[in-house]
Amino acid sequence: MGRIAYVFPGQGAQKAGMGKDFYENSPAAAKVFERAGEILSLDMKALCFEQNEKLDITEYTQAAMVTTSLSMLAAMRERGLREPDVTAGLSLGEYCAMAAAGVMSGEDAVRIVRRRGILMQEAVPAGQGAMAAVLAMKAEDIEHILENMEEVQIANYNCPGQTVISGETEAVEKACAALQEAGARRTVKLNVSGPFHSSLLKEAGEKLYEALAPVKLMEHEIPYVSNVTAEYVTGTENVKDYLKRQVFSSVKWQQSVETMLSSGVDTFVEIGPGKTLSSFIKKIRRDVSVYNVEVWEDLHKLETVLGRN
């Protein structure tokens, strides 16, 4: 086994019941849920464990996802599982990656993503923004077609054959038609509440930067990969600027995985609900090892693979 990366999913992977078995089996995980509830004045257990409409509303989703992933991470550390060599997260998941790397406390991560979710939810009136997945088309071909189209841009470089575009609703619809005419196998409009990672959220990014001002960042030994640059971050000087820009810039997930692969990472552990990132990683490089921490039983399997510190 070479180097290990802990990776964290973003918004869209949430589901009712997530993290409940960790809460019930791990004191460390339970503490994460309880503390997040205190910080945010929210019933995090009801939000994450029970069927409810709030879980899919951005201002609640983001806090719920980060709390859940960090609770799973806390349980892993409680059991002494091997620490990662690097970390990364998709969009929202970058905050978990930063907490896992030690650059931001888990409490600050939960607090900031709650604010981030509210800002992103309020940024564009309902119906005025949209996102769509473009399937089976090279990213460079999509870039070329979008060059002359205003109010729409690439939001996510997920993996070969899957790219997401975002922007003003009518512009996204026109772009989808143009991309299909140019050879995309299919375009699928996403069920999201706003045009995330587009220039329409620039003001939200600026407001987030203001909210980040009092957050203490710490020097960290474990590097994490920035969504904005797809490069390792080893210091704190640019972190807040990257987080500001991440709100309205493309998420370079495929490039981030390629950065980790080029530095010797051959084992990825996705921590959080779903297996979205695992699927992307396998499409980027088939011969790597990918594991998931989604339910409590996954920890038993992972112990035999990673070993303990």
On the question of pLDDT at 295 being above 80, the answer is: yes
pLDDT in tens, 89-140: 999 999 999 999 999 999 999 999 999 999 998 998 878 999 999 999 999 9
Q: Which of 71, 197, 198, 278 is catalytic?
A: 197
State the distance between the two ends of the chain, measured CA to CA, in whole angstroms: 15
Residue 193 has pLDDT above 90, yes or no: no
Q: Give me the pLDDT at residue 182, please.
A: 94
Q: How far apart are CA 62 and CA 10, in angstroms?
A: 8
Give the separation between CA 218 and CA 149, rounded to whole angstroms: 41
Q: Annotated catalytic, 91?
A: yes
197 is annotated as an active-site residue: yes
What confidence score (pLDDT) does residue 191 get? 80
Residue 170: C-alpha distances to residues 187, 188, 195, 207, 285 (Å): 14, 15, 12, 26, 35
- Is the predicted pLDDT of residue 308 greater than 80, yes or no? no
Predicted confidence at residue 68, as pLDDT, reads 98
How much is the pLDDT for 135? 97
pLDDT for res 305:
86
- Residue 225 confidence (pLDDT): 98
What pLDDT, on the 0 to 100 scale, is given for residue 208? 98
Q: CA 73 to CA 273: how far, in whole Å?
A: 12
Catalytic residue among 26, 69, 91, 198: 91
* Concatenated DSSP letters of 78-113: HTTBPPPSEEEESTTHHHHHHHHHTSS-HHHHHHHH
Closest CA to 154 of 197, 194, 185: 197
In the chain the domains, ranked by start, together with CATH numbers, are: 3-123+200-306 (3.40.366.10), 129-192 (3.30.70.250)
Span 64-70, average pLDDT: 98
pLDDT band at residue 43 under the 50/70/90 scheme = very high
pLDDT tens figures, 200-238: 999 999 999 999 999 999 999 999 999 999 999 999 999
| Beta-carbon count within 10 A of 190 CB | 16
Q: Residue 127 has what pLDDT?
A: 81
The pLDDT of residue 309 is 72
| Chain centroid to CA 159 | 14
pLDDT in tens, 235-289: 999 999 999 999 999 999 999 999 999 999 999 999 999 999 999 999 999 999 9
**Structure confidence at residue 1 (pLDDT):** 74
Do 28 and 22 form a contact (C-beta atoms < 8 A)?
A: no
| Whether pLDDT at 292 is above 80 | yes
Which positions ≥6 away from 93 have C-beta within 8 Å? Answer: 7, 8, 9, 10, 65, 69, 272, 277
